[in-house]
Amino acid sequence: KWFLAIYLVTQSKTNIAALALRRQLGISWKAAWLLKHKLMDAMRQRESSQPLSGDIRVDDAYLGGEYPGGKSGRGSENKTAFVAAVEMRNGQPNRVRFDPVDGFSFAALMPWASSALRAGSVITSDGLSGFRVVQQLGFQHRVVIAPKGKAGTEIDAFKWLNVLIGNLKTTLSGTHHAFKFSKYAARYLAEVQYRFNRRADLCALIPRLLKAVMQAKPCPRGVFQALIEQET
């Protein structure tokens, strides 16, 4: 069951939901949910130790929409902030990182920048004040102010980054429709990141994820069982 689950998770063109895993594996939804989240957490642990380097483009992004009658814009209670970053090589995206953060202040972005970026990299942002934290850490920081509207998504500096963010959101919304962003964003984002960063060799994804699972820190069933009960 585990081997087949790893195959399905790694070889699917888009993400595969726990409900689809249940049907493919012939197990209960709870067991499929538990298995899927253990695999995603192994991906998260693996990706957390892989900083980007070189020419890096960064942007602020959010998962989730606004609650009816709730706060609007970035203050919405249903929105989870994350940093989208892409490592460019020869004009093409090489690797990405999608990291949940508490916000886009200096204090929130300092730990992210310290762990997600390799020393000596050149960071390009759109001028959001929080990203100036990279200068304090000794990175070269290039600011490109993007025009408003659709034209701002198509400028060379951020074109590929915006494509990747769009693909990410389409993949998540098309497969899962909705999930508790504040609880599970790190795992779902890590799954997309893990697969993209290893897209060049789909066959190798299977043994590589097996290795990641064996090296990951334990994910006790009791912790996941409590989460499953909250879901149901």
pLDDT in tens, 111-166: 999 999 999 999 999 989 999 999 999 999 999 987 777 766 778 889 999 999 99
SS3 category, 124: strand
**Backbone φ/ψ region at 182: left (φ over 0), alpha (ψ -120 to 50), beta:** alpha
Q: Please tell me the predicted confidence (pLDDT) of residue 127.
A: 85
Q: Please tell me the predicted confidence (pLDDT) of residue 89.
A: 95
| Count of C-beta atoms within a 10 Å radius of residue 188 | 24
**Contact yes or no for 64/79 (Cβ under 8 A):** yes
pTM of the entire predicted model: 0.85
Q: Please tell me the predicted confidence (pLDDT) of residue 178.
A: 62
As a whole number of angstroms, the distance between CA 190 and CA 219 comes to 16
Q: Which residue in the block uniquely carries the two structure tokens 């074109």?
A: 159
Which of 36-50, 55-69, 126-140, 156-170 shows the lowest per-residue confidence on average (mean pLDDT)? 55-69
Is the pLDDT at 71 greater than 90, yes or no? no
Is the pLDDT at 74 greater than 50, yes or no? yes
Please give the domain boundaries of the chain with CATH numbers for all domains: 2-49+197-231 (no CATH), 55-168 (3.30.420)
**Which 8-state DSSP code applies to residue 104?**
S
